[in-house]
Chain A
Amino acid sequence: MSRNWLERNTFHYSDFKDLRNLVEVKAKKNLRISLCLPTLNEEKTIAKEIVIMKSELMTRYPLLDEIVVVDSGSTDKTEEIAREYGADVYRASDILPHMEVFQGKGENLWKALYITKGDIIVYLDADIKNIHHRFVYALVGPLLLSDRIRYAKAFYDRPIAIGKNMMRATGGGRVTELVIRPLFSLYFPELTQILQPLSGEYAGYRDIFEKIPFPIGYGIETSMILDIYEKWGLDVMAQVDLEKRVHRNQDTKALGRMAFVILKTFLNRIEKLGLIEKKKEMFNEMIQYKLENDTYKPDIRQPADHERPPMISVPGYGERPASLK
């Protein structure tokens, strides 16, 4: 296993602080950059993300060409607030309306490919409490400044000091450390160098995103890494330390459901790659238990596991109106 990747392709956001230079390189390469925020009831955090990105990366330094919100059907004021602060707001169900409607973050990210104009697309979760424009410029930086890197992913909290004796915990969340890292260690040891594979903030060239399938739910980050790795190799990927990210904490049961979807996505992928052979189909129910009136009752969920095909294969994608290209 090559461990060089960690040293060569790991950056700190401060490496890309020269925004003027990034804007110049972007202009020289004649690129457009879109920021996509997938939302579902994010009225408390969405405005700040839009305000800061618009002010810092559109008005002050024209790094972004558009901010697009793709909403799953919020029942709060997310859409109204996002519009008020100048984002282009779409209901996910209104994009490609002839197709069956699904709900999930991956669905919104996939549909964003259809309505954004950028050659580079930045995906940020919309629930980041300590949002700062580094969340965008640091992910765009490696893509602009290197001709080799096509996809960049965030990690947080300075989890590791490279090249010194100091080592700290890798700072991944519980699902990363208990599910993804063991699986990567078993099947793709190289990928363990990606410190926080489940982080929800990443950027990449359209020609990468449009060629891979998108699971509509929690499996999106895992499948994205596996698919990019399989098609283009680890070297096109980079990771950037954004230091601190504050967001809502999920309870253990919710994380359990997340782990269920991720495991399923992973197992399906490695089966497709011929690494395992399943003797029988997996069940598709996550069974948890809750205590009600001194009785344990099953809490059975069927997490969404539909997968969207590569956008490039969707009829009409290549013929979108010029305003959407």
Chain B
Amino acid sequence: MESYLEEIPSYVEKIKFIKETILSNIVLIGQVPSQTFNEARRADIFQERMADAQVDECSMDEFRNPIGVVRGTSDKKPPIFVVGHLDTFIDKEVDHNYTIIKDAVYGPGIMDNSAGIGILISLPEIFRKLGLRFESDIVIAGLIHSLGKANLQGIRRLLGAWKTRIRGAICVEGGELGRLNYYSDGIRRCEVECRISAEDGVEYRFKPNAILILNDVINRILTLCLPQRPRARVIIGKISGGFKHGIIALEGTLGFEIQSDSDQMVKTIFRDINDIVDGLSHEYQVDMKLKTISSVNAGTLNFNHPLVKSTVAIMKKLDLKPIAEPSGSELSIFLSQQIPAVTLGVSRGHNYHLANAWMEIEPMYRGIAQIVGVIKAIDSGVCDE
């Protein structure tokens, strides 16, 4: 491990030599709107850039995930995957024109995940600049249909169709530099829809209000006793409903996520919330349903797994402080298939999901060096044991 570890800090300055290429890739891909289920244009650009970078193989899989392959020197070593999600939460109506100033790039979706994708499509050029060849093939994949209701279909389909063993994987996210995800929570993302008939019927003495009923659902969820072990929580993330200020709301939707490191606990909490919804639906005589939007299972690498240990060593070598948190992203799909994987962040950012999101440029070079270092670690065999 030591031999490659020593080289890694020197990558930072070398990567700066191609900063225009990297920033250009981030901007050109980030300016293309790519809301979940509408990533086709961004996928095309990903593929074009891969072709331009003259990777050895460039294609779309059957699900239309764009893929570039940098061939390795050995045909016996399984491939290493480096992936990132192409979709964003940003509505296509938002102005997607990015701005570069001296030390920052501004633009909606830059941290989630244009910067990550910009780095992925720059990797072939970065390898060339650093003079790196790997034993394994490096499979660079942009993933469509990842976020929210898409429920990570892109990575599920990519891995579902991949017939040979995968040596290890890195999931690349725009932010935050220093993150080291090597375990994923079990997650169930849910919606409660409440609808009240617009007709005045005998069942209503007083017309109920969808927003107040959802408020009641929230209050009852908050009374649930969640254990400390296994770790569990419910995040109330979205609420919408109503028509105008002076009219009783006849429709409303509540979005929340159940997270736990135990899949069983996720199921138990889901059942409890379902009981709450059923009970209130009966009590108020309204049509209210709990729906699962997406779910992933919990998975983990041990902290002493060689991939985790090597990644920590690489980050420390670059003066980065590793921050371990669970991740519910593509990582969970790799881990559920026993493929050692980590999620890493590229740079520091601000206003992540707002139209004025921005990324600091200078930390990005260490973020990239870290990704290259982990590819080298996997190529040197840390996932083979």
Contacts and interface: CB of A to CB of B under 8 A. Distances in A.
B114 to A, nearest CB: 14
Contacts of A52: 24, 27-28
A181 interface: no
A45 B99 contact: yes
B351 interface: no
Interface string B68-103: 000000000000000000000000000001111110
- Best-surrounded residue of B27, B100, B102 (most CB of chain A within 10 A): B100
Contact of B101 (A44, A56, A60, A86): A44
A43 interface: yes
Given A47-B102, A81-B102, A130-B31, A56 B97 contact: no
Given A77-B102, A81-B102, A84-B102, A129 B21 contact: no
A51 interface: yes
A193 to B, nearest CB: 31
Interface in A82-121: 84-86
A51 B52 contact: no
B102 A51 contact: no
A167 interface: no
Contacts of B102: 47, 77, 80-81, 84
B140 to A, nearest CB: 17
A132 interface: yes
B20 interface: yes
A303 B31 CA distance: 37
Interface in A15-63: 43-45, 47-48, 50-52, 54-56, 59-60
A44 to B, nearest CB: 5
Nearest to B102: A81
Contacts of A246: 97
A59 B21 contact: yes
Contact of B27 (A48, A54, A81, A86): A48
Given A55-B23, A59-B21, A60-B21, A44 B97 contact: no
Contact of A44 (B18, B20, B99): B99
Nearest to A45: B99
A52 B100 CA distance: 10
B52 A60 contact: yes
A51 B99 CA distance: 11
A96 to B, nearest CB: 30
Contacts of B100: 47-48, 51, 85
Contact of B20 (A43, A54, A80, A130): A54
Interface in A227-265: 246
Interface residues of A, number: 23
Nearest to A50: B20
A59 B21 CA distance: 8
Interface size class of B (residues with CB under 8 A): 10 to 19
A43 B24 contact: no
Given A52-B27, A60-B52, A86 B97 contact: no
A55 B28 CA distance: 11
Given A60-B52, A130-B31, A132-B28, A55 B99 contact: no
Contact of A55 (B21, B31, B98, B101): B21
A55 to B, nearest CB: 4
Contact of B99 (A48, A54, A56, A59): A48
A47 B102 CA distance: 8
Interface in B238-276: none
B97 A55 contact: no
Nearest to A86: B20
Contacts of B31: 130
A80 B101 CA distance: 10
A47 B24 contact: no
Contacts of B98: 48
B156 to A, nearest CB: 34
Contacts of B18: 59
Nearest to B22: A55
Interface string B26-47: 0110010000000000000000
Contacts of B21: 55, 59-60
A41 to B, nearest CB: 13
Given A55-B20, A55-B21, A85-B20, A43 B101 contact: yes
B101 A47 contact: yes
Contacts of B27: 48, 51-52
B97 A129 contact: yes
Contacts of A50: 20
A50 B100 CA distance: 10
A77 B103 CA distance: 12
B359 to A, nearest CB: 14
A40 B24 CA distance: 23
A86 B18 CA distance: 12
A246 B96 CA distance: 11
A51 B20 contact: yes
A246 B97 CA distance: 9
A132 B45 CA distance: 13
B15 to A, nearest CB: 14
B377 to A, nearest CB: 29
Contacts of A45: 99
B324 to A, nearest CB: 34
Contacts of B25: 55
Interface of A: 43-45, 47-48, 50-52, 54-56, 59-60, 77, 80-81, 84-86, 129-130, 132, 246
24 contacts: A43-B101, A44-B101, A47-B101, A48-B27, A48-B98, A51-B20, A51-B23, A51-B24, A51-B27, A52-B28, A54-B20, A54-B24, A55-B20, A55-B21, A55-B24, A55-B25, A56-B24, A60-B21, A77-B101, A77-B102, A81-B101, A85-B100, A129-B97, A132-B28
Given A44-B99, A47-B99, A51-B24, 6 more contacts: A48-B27, A52-B27, A52-B28, A55-B23, A80-B102, A84-B102
The 10 residue pairs across chains A and B that have the minimum distance between CB atoms: A55-B24, A47-B100, A55-B20, A129-B97, A54-B20, A48-B100, A55-B21, A51-B23, A51-B20, A52-B24
